[in-house]
Amino acid sequence: MSTLSVHGLSVHFRNRLVLDVARLDFSSNGLVGLIGANGAGKTTLLRALAGLIRVHGNVRYRDQDLQTMPTAQRARCVAYLPQNADAQWPLSVEQLVALGRLPHRRALSAMQDTDRQAMRWAMAAVDVGHLAQRPITALSGGERSRALLARSLAVQAPLLMVDEPTASLDPYHQLLIMEVLSNYARNKGLVISVLHDLNLAARFCDRLVLVHDGAIAADGTSEQVLGDDELARCYQVRVVRHQHDGPIIVPIARTDA
Protein backbone atom coordinates (compact mmCIF):
# COMPACT_ATOMS: atom_id res chain seq x y z
CA MET A 1 0.00 0.00 0.00
CA SER A 2 1.25 3.48 -0.88
CA THR A 3 1.87 5.94 1.93
CA LEU A 4 0.78 8.88 -0.24
CA SER A 5 -1.33 8.51 -3.36
CA VAL A 6 -2.85 10.86 -5.90
CA HIS A 7 -5.76 9.98 -8.18
CA GLY A 8 -7.38 12.24 -10.75
CA LEU A 9 -5.83 15.40 -9.31
CA SER A 10 -6.53 18.74 -10.94
CA VAL A 11 -6.09 22.32 -9.77
CA HIS A 12 -7.72 25.39 -11.28
CA PHE A 13 -6.76 29.01 -10.72
CA ARG A 14 -9.30 31.56 -11.98
CA ASN A 15 -11.00 28.91 -14.12
CA ARG A 16 -7.69 27.96 -15.73
CA LEU A 17 -6.38 24.40 -15.41
CA VAL A 18 -2.86 24.65 -13.97
CA LEU A 19 -2.27 21.08 -12.78
CA ASP A 20 -3.58 17.77 -14.10
CA VAL A 21 -2.16 14.54 -12.64
CA ALA A 22 -3.88 11.23 -13.31
CA ARG A 23 -1.97 9.19 -10.73
CA LEU A 24 1.07 9.33 -8.46
CA ASP A 25 1.99 6.90 -5.72
CA PHE A 26 4.71 7.30 -3.09
CA SER A 27 6.11 4.67 -0.76
CA SER A 28 6.83 5.26 2.93
CA ASN A 29 10.49 6.22 2.52
CA GLY A 30 12.70 7.88 -0.06
CA LEU A 31 13.77 11.29 -1.30
CA VAL A 32 11.67 12.41 -4.26
CA GLY A 33 12.67 15.44 -6.28
CA LEU A 34 10.04 17.52 -8.07
CA ILE A 35 11.84 19.16 -10.98
CA GLY A 36 10.87 21.26 -13.97
CA ALA A 37 11.17 24.72 -15.46
CA ASN A 38 9.83 27.88 -13.84
CA GLY A 39 6.04 27.88 -13.87
CA ALA A 40 5.77 24.18 -14.65
CA GLY A 41 3.55 23.50 -11.63
CA LYS A 42 6.01 22.06 -9.08
CA THR A 43 5.00 24.26 -6.15
CA THR A 44 1.31 23.80 -6.93
CA LEU A 45 1.80 20.03 -6.94
CA LEU A 46 3.73 20.15 -3.65
CA ARG A 47 1.03 22.26 -1.98
CA ALA A 48 -1.63 19.89 -3.29
CA LEU A 49 0.27 16.89 -1.92
CA ALA A 50 0.46 18.65 1.47
CA GLY A 51 -3.30 19.23 1.49
CA LEU A 52 -2.87 23.00 1.52
CA ILE A 53 -4.95 23.99 -1.51
CA ARG A 54 -8.36 23.05 -2.83
CA VAL A 55 -8.14 20.36 -5.49
CA HIS A 56 -10.38 18.15 -7.58
CA GLY A 57 -9.58 14.49 -7.11
CA ASN A 58 -7.96 12.57 -4.30
CA VAL A 59 -4.79 13.03 -2.25
CA ARG A 60 -4.69 10.27 0.34
CA TYR A 61 -2.30 9.53 3.17
CA ARG A 62 -2.59 5.95 4.38
CA ASP A 63 -6.18 5.78 3.14
CA GLN A 64 -7.17 9.11 4.67
CA ASP A 65 -8.15 12.09 2.56
CA LEU A 66 -5.69 14.90 3.33
CA GLN A 67 -8.30 17.49 2.45
CA THR A 68 -10.65 16.33 5.20
CA MET A 69 -8.07 15.14 7.73
CA PRO A 70 -8.37 17.07 11.02
CA THR A 71 -5.93 19.98 11.08
CA ALA A 72 -4.14 18.82 14.23
CA GLN A 73 -3.59 15.34 12.81
CA ARG A 74 -2.35 16.70 9.48
CA ALA A 75 0.09 18.98 11.32
CA ARG A 76 1.65 15.89 12.90
CA CYS A 77 1.70 13.92 9.65
CA VAL A 78 2.96 16.57 7.23
CA ALA A 79 5.76 19.09 7.76
CA TYR A 80 5.86 21.71 5.01
CA LEU A 81 8.47 24.35 4.22
CA PRO A 82 7.28 26.81 1.56
CA GLN A 83 9.38 28.52 -1.07
CA ASN A 84 11.01 31.73 0.16
CA ALA A 85 9.82 31.09 3.71
CA ASP A 86 10.56 33.91 6.12
CA ALA A 87 10.02 35.00 9.71
CA GLN A 88 9.15 38.58 10.59
CA TRP A 89 9.09 38.42 14.38
CA PRO A 90 12.40 38.67 16.29
CA LEU A 91 12.15 35.18 17.79
CA SER A 92 15.37 33.43 18.66
CA VAL A 93 16.31 30.49 16.46
CA GLU A 94 15.52 28.18 19.37
CA GLN A 95 12.05 29.72 19.79
CA LEU A 96 11.41 29.43 16.05
CA VAL A 97 12.39 25.76 15.97
CA ALA A 98 10.21 25.13 19.04
CA LEU A 99 7.19 26.03 16.88
CA GLY A 100 7.79 22.78 15.05
CA ARG A 101 6.88 20.88 18.22
CA LEU A 102 3.46 22.52 18.66
CA PRO A 103 1.57 19.75 16.81
CA HIS A 104 2.77 17.29 19.46
CA ARG A 105 1.87 19.39 22.50
CA ARG A 106 -1.37 20.22 24.23
CA ALA A 107 -2.31 23.88 24.48
CA LEU A 108 -0.18 25.70 27.05
CA SER A 109 1.55 22.47 28.08
CA ALA A 110 5.21 22.48 29.11
CA MET A 111 7.87 21.28 26.71
CA GLN A 112 8.95 17.67 27.24
CA ASP A 113 12.37 16.05 26.90
CA THR A 114 11.29 14.57 23.56
CA ASP A 115 10.56 18.09 22.29
CA ARG A 116 13.96 19.40 23.39
CA GLN A 117 15.73 16.42 21.86
CA ALA A 118 13.94 16.93 18.54
CA MET A 119 14.85 20.62 18.56
CA ARG A 120 18.52 19.99 19.35
CA TRP A 121 18.72 17.33 16.65
CA ALA A 122 17.08 19.59 14.04
CA MET A 123 19.31 22.59 14.79
CA ALA A 124 22.48 20.49 14.77
CA ALA A 125 21.47 18.75 11.54
CA VAL A 126 21.31 22.00 9.56
CA ASP A 127 24.22 23.74 11.33
CA VAL A 128 22.33 26.38 13.30
CA GLY A 129 22.89 25.05 16.82
CA HIS A 130 25.46 27.78 17.49
CA LEU A 131 22.81 30.37 16.52
CA ALA A 132 20.17 29.11 18.95
CA GLN A 133 19.94 32.38 20.93
CA ARG A 134 20.28 34.73 17.95
CA PRO A 135 17.15 36.56 16.73
CA ILE A 136 16.00 35.10 13.43
CA THR A 137 15.75 38.64 12.03
CA ALA A 138 19.49 39.18 12.65
CA LEU A 139 20.59 36.21 10.53
CA SER A 140 21.79 36.15 6.96
CA GLY A 141 19.44 34.83 4.30
CA GLY A 142 21.13 31.45 4.22
CA GLU A 143 21.19 31.10 8.00
CA ARG A 144 17.52 32.04 8.18
CA SER A 145 16.69 29.49 5.50
CA ARG A 146 18.41 26.75 7.48
CA ALA A 147 16.68 27.77 10.73
CA LEU A 148 13.30 27.58 9.03
CA LEU A 149 14.17 24.13 7.71
CA ALA A 150 15.12 23.14 11.27
CA ARG A 151 11.61 24.12 12.37
CA SER A 152 10.14 21.73 9.78
CA LEU A 153 12.57 18.96 10.70
CA ALA A 154 11.68 19.32 14.39
CA VAL A 155 8.13 18.17 13.65
CA GLN A 156 9.62 14.75 12.79
CA ALA A 157 6.64 14.08 10.56
CA PRO A 158 6.43 10.97 8.39
CA LEU A 159 5.89 13.28 5.40
CA LEU A 160 8.36 16.14 4.91
CA MET A 161 7.71 18.49 1.99
CA VAL A 162 10.14 21.29 1.18
CA ASP A 163 10.16 23.82 -1.63
CA GLU A 164 13.63 24.80 -2.94
CA PRO A 165 15.45 24.19 0.36
CA THR A 166 18.90 24.90 -1.14
CA ALA A 167 18.02 28.05 -3.12
CA SER A 168 19.80 30.62 -0.92
CA LEU A 169 22.65 28.46 0.34
CA ASP A 170 26.38 28.33 -0.36
CA PRO A 171 27.76 25.09 -1.91
CA TYR A 172 28.82 23.61 1.46
CA HIS A 173 25.37 24.03 2.95
CA GLN A 174 23.63 22.90 -0.24
CA LEU A 175 25.43 19.58 0.08
CA LEU A 176 24.74 19.46 3.83
CA ILE A 177 21.01 20.04 3.40
CA MET A 178 20.72 17.41 0.67
CA GLU A 179 22.53 14.95 2.93
CA VAL A 180 20.11 15.81 5.76
CA LEU A 181 17.09 15.27 3.51
CA SER A 182 18.51 12.01 2.19
CA ASN A 183 19.15 10.72 5.72
CA TYR A 184 15.69 11.82 6.85
CA ALA A 185 14.16 9.92 3.95
CA ARG A 186 16.17 6.84 4.83
CA ASN A 187 15.40 6.85 8.55
CA LYS A 188 12.24 8.83 9.29
CA GLY A 189 9.88 9.01 6.34
CA LEU A 190 9.05 10.26 2.88
CA VAL A 191 10.66 13.52 1.71
CA ILE A 192 9.36 15.38 -1.36
CA SER A 193 11.41 18.39 -2.42
CA VAL A 194 11.14 20.91 -5.23
CA LEU A 195 14.63 21.34 -6.69
CA HIS A 196 16.13 23.44 -9.47
CA ASP A 197 19.70 22.15 -9.32
CA LEU A 198 19.70 19.12 -11.59
CA ASN A 199 23.04 17.89 -10.27
CA LEU A 200 21.83 17.84 -6.67
CA ALA A 201 18.60 16.19 -7.80
CA ALA A 202 20.44 13.52 -9.79
CA ARG A 203 22.97 12.82 -7.08
CA PHE A 204 20.75 12.66 -3.99
CA CYS A 205 17.20 11.79 -5.04
CA ASP A 206 15.94 8.23 -5.15
CA ARG A 207 13.26 9.28 -7.62
CA LEU A 208 12.57 12.29 -9.82
CA VAL A 209 9.19 13.57 -10.99
CA LEU A 210 9.53 15.95 -13.94
CA VAL A 211 6.66 18.44 -14.17
CA HIS A 212 5.94 20.21 -17.46
CA ASP A 213 2.99 22.46 -18.29
CA GLY A 214 1.07 21.25 -15.25
CA ALA A 215 1.44 17.54 -16.01
CA ILE A 216 3.89 14.75 -15.24
CA ALA A 217 6.35 14.51 -18.13
CA ALA A 218 8.55 11.76 -16.65
CA ASP A 219 8.81 9.80 -13.42
CA GLY A 220 11.62 7.48 -12.36
CA THR A 221 15.34 7.40 -11.64
CA SER A 222 17.64 10.21 -12.74
CA GLU A 223 18.79 8.08 -15.67
CA GLN A 224 15.19 7.62 -16.80
CA VAL A 225 14.09 11.22 -16.29
CA LEU A 226 17.08 13.40 -17.20
CA GLY A 227 17.54 12.28 -20.79
CA ASP A 228 18.53 14.66 -23.57
CA ASP A 229 15.05 14.62 -25.11
CA GLU A 230 13.33 15.36 -21.79
CA LEU A 231 15.70 18.23 -20.98
CA ALA A 232 15.30 19.72 -24.43
CA ARG A 233 11.51 19.49 -24.30
CA CYS A 234 10.92 20.59 -20.71
CA TYR A 235 13.87 22.93 -20.07
CA GLN A 236 14.75 23.95 -23.65
CA VAL A 237 18.45 23.33 -23.09
CA ARG A 238 21.20 21.12 -24.44
CA VAL A 239 23.61 19.62 -21.92
CA VAL A 240 26.93 17.86 -21.67
CA ARG A 241 27.43 15.07 -19.17
CA HIS A 242 30.24 13.87 -16.98
CA GLN A 243 30.60 11.30 -14.21
CA HIS A 244 32.24 11.90 -10.84
CA ASP A 245 30.67 10.05 -7.92
CA GLY A 246 27.45 10.34 -9.90
CA PRO A 247 26.17 12.25 -12.92
CA ILE A 248 27.18 15.85 -13.63
CA ILE A 249 24.88 17.73 -15.99
CA VAL A 250 26.02 21.04 -17.49
CA PRO A 251 23.61 23.11 -19.62
CA ILE A 252 25.56 24.59 -22.52
CA ALA A 253 22.99 26.09 -24.89
CA ARG A 254 19.34 26.99 -25.29
CA THR A 255 17.58 24.86 -27.85
CA ASP A 256 15.79 27.92 -29.23
CA ALA A 257 18.98 29.96 -29.59
Contact at 8 Å (CB) between 46 and 157?
Answer: no
Percent of the chain with pLDDT over 90: 85
The per-residue pLDDT for 3 is 87
Sheet bearing 16-26, strands edge to edge: 16-26, 4-13, 56-61, 64-65
For the domain with range 4-89+158-254, which CATH number is right: 2.30.30.30, 3.40.50.150, 2.60.40.10, 3.40.50.300? Answer: 3.40.50.300
Q: How confident is the model at residue 257 (pLDDT cuts 50, 70, 90)?
A: low
With 90 as the cut, is the pLDDT of residue 158 above it?
yes
Average pLDDT over residues 225-239: 96
**pLDDT higher than 60, residue 118:** yes
E strand spans, the chain:
4-13, 16-26, 30-35, 56-61, 64-65, 78-81, 159-163, 190-194, 207-212, 215-220, 237-243, 247-254
Report pLDDT for 106: 78
> What's the one-letter identity of residue 47?
R
Four-CA torsion 45, 46, 48, 53, nearest 10 degrees: -110
The model's pLDDT over 1-51, given as tens digits with 9 standing for 90+, comes to 568 999 999 999 988 999 999 999 998 789 999 999 999 999 999 999 999
DSSP conformation class of 167? T
> Which of 221, 213, 75, 232 lies closest to 151, judged by CA?
75
pTM (2 d.p.):
0.95
